[in-house]
Structure 1
Amino acid sequence: MKLSVIILNYNVAYFLRQCIISAQRAIGNLEAEIIVIDNASADHSCEMVKRDFPSVILIENKENVGFSKANNQAVSVAKGEFICILNPDTAVAEDTFVRCIQKAEKLPDLGALGVYMLDGTGNFLPESKRNLPTPKASFLKLIGFTKKYYATHISEENEGEVEVLVGAFMFMKKSIYNEVNGFDEDYFMYGEDIDLSYKITQAGYKNYYLGTAETLHYKGESTQKDAAYLQRFYGAMQIFYKKHFNSNLLLDLSVKTGVWTAKLLKTKNIAEGKKGTPTPSRAIVITDNLAMLKGLSAVVEQPLKSVSKSIFQDGSVQETLVVFDADYIPYTQIFNVMRQYRNLGNQFRIRPPGCSFIIGSDQSDDKGGVVQF
């Protein structure tokens, strides 16, 4: 088997549904499997997978064992030569897996491969390609200097060697994953991708960023940004430094001070909340399905107008709620439009193929939203 797509889910059934559908499309004619491992979700995720995706391998944990342990469980049963660790709050373009395999087979010293990730607003997620977060680089990022933290030496749509990839999409040979012992289970959530990326380079392989392959990531959907999140996130960074950097009194003090300061700032931002996004002046649905349009119109406050894909040829779309029907327009084109028309007052929603709901997010690090119809 060529590829195993591994999706760890926790209480995001609607996003998981879109993720599976997009992965199935991207698999195409590849000999591949999809493995969903669920960390004791309280929603209807497992029932949905069993009912609607009988070919998907489902592993149901009775408790939330965390990111690292759950992914290691799934990899242990994966049959693919390559594995792709994939977040449930993502959607992959139709050619993403093929592009990754083609690139991977040309790079004999490849460790892991990452791709261009965009958020729900159409903007690039800079964590798609990062440098090693040394204490100095992390401190500089904290005070607003991100050049040393992110791999800015590679442009967003280019490709090249990087040190750290994001765990929302990590593509690699299963043999390499096993060689470096997979995700470190000392991390419950956060930091595992940095640790795995570092272990791969320490083993003599190279991590690589491929800007021509795309994945949408509704960053923040799988986690609540609360006190427990902050404790886990910054606690993970302390674990990483303790494991991989020579400890001394000055370093320990610097890390603790940096972590404390970051937690304080993040807590303040969370308490203040996020600014609301303005309501677009009009709403359009990119579809030829009038029945779907009628159903959606009954639950959306704004009047909806059905339009064809040709509307994007004149470049006049702004301050508009844009709903994409993924049965009518493929994810590859959806992502292209989102990138092209970002930051123009537009908001984007996607109706996954065959589904009676739309998904979207108007903040790069906020939970996404679902509207059923």
Structure 2
Amino acid sequence: MAAKNPDLSIVIVSYNTRKITHQCLESIYRSFRSYRSKDTPSFEIILIDNASAKDDSAAYLADYAQKHKNIMFVANKTNLGFGPANNQGVKLAKGDYILLLNSDTIILKDAIHKLFSFYRKNEHTKHFIGPKLFNKDMTPQPSAAPFYSLPVIFGALFLKGDYWGLTRFSPKTLQKVDWIAGACIMTKKEYFVKVGGFDETVFMYMEEVDLLYRAKKMHMNTFFYPKAKMVHLGSASSNGRTFPILQVYRGFLFFYKKHHSKSALFFLRFLLRLKAGLTWFLGFVINNNYLKHTYEEAFQVAGQ
């Protein structure tokens, strides 16, 4: 008799995050051991090492997977990027339901159970859902947001929009939103495939915004579900402080080239260059080499 497919496939992509990925995996198993009920889903984990270049991640995670029968481990020979590697994992998934989970997340209590139970009851009206995320110090992490219109981008660049809740926020109640952080997204495999998965031309940053923008255009809804709670350490696989900033710039440009008019793209470039120029000048005044170097590069990226 053929084995029954799992209810839920958890896709995790790891890149140079051996210890953090181990912590994430342990939190998943701890949660399922501690909070079992009749509604507890059967699950598998699709664990993908994205050609980690240090800390013996691939060998360590392969060994970990051998000790857990419900882990499928894949070691990529090249770093495909966040989106393509997640697409790869979804293709391998046997479950009808998908949980896209960053390797730098920690499951708190029965978060996955709550997400799954709520989602399965509402899957026809709430197509993509995400939990409430917390920083390491347990302060709420802004992880729901409106799409990046020019006013929203202005707020993000010049007004500390996340701090004031203008750009990203962390609601206290169930709320329909434009997009949720890619650190944790639950959906049906059917929906993910229908939308087209992550755009594989994006290496890192803005994948989830693009995915959920396309979903909204197909009349699919995204919801923030705060009863499920997780810790998201953030940027664990990014290289240094400069790389994430440049990737955010590239992400904005990608999104506007794909979804907006040429005139909107022109104004976006203006905002990005203005931010880069002003911050470079600040670095020059206070003799901060990091600011000068980073935002000189950012200014160049804005023109690409």
The TM-score range, normalised by the shorter chain, is 0.7 to 0.9
For residue 270 of structure 1, report the CA deviation from its aligned partner.
8.5
Q: Looking at CA atoms only, which structure, 1 or 2, has the larger radius of gyration?
A: 1
1:124/1:156 contact within 8 Å kept? no
Deviation at residue 136 of structure 1 after TM alignment: 1.6
The alignment covers a number of residue pairs equal to 266
1:17 match: 22
User: 1:87: how far off?
Assistant: 0.9
Cross-structure match for 1:310 = none
In the TM superposition, what is the alpha-carbon distance from 1:148 to its structure 2 partner?
3.8
C-alpha RMSD over aligned residues = 2.0
Name the counterpart of 1:116: 132
Partner of 2:290: 271
Report whether the alignment pairs 1:86 with 2:101.
Answer: yes
Mapped pair 1:164 → 2:179 = yes
> What is the aligned counterpart of 1:150 among 159, 162, 168?
168
Taking a change above 3 Å as real, the CA distance of residues 135 and 226 of structure 1, as seen in their structure-2 partners, is same
Q: Is residue 234–residue 263 contact of structure 1 (8 Å, CA) maintained in 2?
A: no
Q: Deviations over 1:313-341 (max 9, x none)?
A: xxxxxxxxxxxxxxxxxxxxxxxxxxxxx
Q: Gaps spanning 5+ residues in structure 2: where?
A: 1-5, 34-39, 292-304
Aligned partner letter, 1:253: F
Which residue of structure 2 lines up, in the alignment, with residue 141 of structure 1?
Answer: 156
Say whether 1:5 aligns with 2:20: no
TM-score normalized by structure 1? 0.67
How much does 1:247 deviate?
Answer: 2.4
* Alignment-mate amino acid for residue 50 of structure 2: N
Q: 2:216 is aligned with what amino acid?
A: T
Query: Given the two structures, how large is their TM-score scaled by the length of structure 2?
Result: 0.82
Give 3-state SS (helix, strand or coil) of 1:133's partner: coil
3-state SS, counterpart of residue 52 of structure 2: coil
Task: Mark the CA change 1:121 to 1:237 in structure 2 (over 3 Å): closer, same or farther.
Answer: same
Aligned equivalents of 1:116 and 1:244: distance in 2? 28
Do the aligned partners of 1:112 and 1:207 also contact (CA within 8 Å) in 2?
yes
1:104 matched to which residue of 2? 119
Q: Which amino acid aligns with 1:118?
A: F
Q: Is 1:32 matched up with 2:43?
A: yes
Note the 1:52-91 alignment, pairs <5 A: 52-54=64-66, 55=69, 56-91=71-106
After superposition, the Cα gap between the structure-2 partners of 1:265 and 1:225, relative to the gap in structure 1 and judged at 3 Å, is: farther
Say if 2:51 and 2:58, in contact at 8 Å, map to a contact too.
Answer: no
Q: Tell me, what secondary structure is at the counterpart of 1:201?
A: helix
String of CA shifts for 1:304-361, please: whole Å, max 9, x gaps: xxxxxxxxxxxxxxxxxxxxxxxxxxxxxxxxxxxxxxxxxxxxxxxxxxxxxxxxxx
Cα distance between partner residues in 2 of 1:23 and 1:261: 44
CA distance in 1, matches of 2:126, 2:157: 31
1:1-373 superposed matches below 5 A = 1-28=6-33, 29-42=40-53, 43-54=55-66, 55=69, 56-107=71-122, 108-126=124-142, 128-144=143-159, 146=161, 147-151=165-169, 156-248=171-263, 251-263=264-276, 268=283, 271=290
2:45 partner letter: I
SS in structure 1 of the partner of residue 179 of structure 2:
coil
Query: Is the Cα contact below 8 Å between 2:158 and 2:275 reproduced in 1?
Result: no
Give 5+ residue unaligned stretches, structure 1: 273-373
